Amino acid sequence: MLSVITKLDDIFASALKPLAPVLLLISRLWVAWVFFRAGQTKIASWDSTLYLFEYEYQVPVLPWEMAAYLGTAAELILPVFLLLGLLTRPAAFALFVFNIVAVVSYPVLWDKGFFDHQMWGVMLLVTTVWGPGLLALDNKLKQRG
């Protein structure tokens, strides 16, 4: 029975292995798109963003104004690194931490958007652990050096 399970697992692993780079790319692009769009929304209505950071969000440690600037910058800059696959692991890890801070800072998310943040967190953690996949500038740079 164990040999059947091992054989079946080997068949699936061989068949699905070519999909790994595509799945890592899709994961990177999806999360980059979500966070970049959020940053664009913050920039588009900056007065509302400042209001939210001052009165709604409860960002630990940082003053609200600094949190607004840093949070918006993170949402606009880090996704570009994910998109390009450049410094992918540090960018994914920074967004992973940012995602946790967002959930902790805004408890309203727990009822409605918590599942989305969990999914994005898993995607970012997978990217941090497994890397960007084959379709990334990180790999091109490693090949040159």
Q: What is the pTM of this model?
A: 0.90
Looking at residue 124, its pLDDT comes to 98
Mean pLDDT for 54-75 is: 96
**145, pLDDT greater than 80:** no
**Tens-place pLDDT, residues 31-40:** 999 999 999 9
- On whether the CB atoms of residues 92 and 124 are closer than 8 A, the answer is yes
Could you give the CA distance from residue 128 to residue 89 in angstroms, rounded to a whole number? 5
Which conformational region is residue 45 in: left (phi greater than 0), alpha (psi within -120 to 50 degrees), or beta?
beta
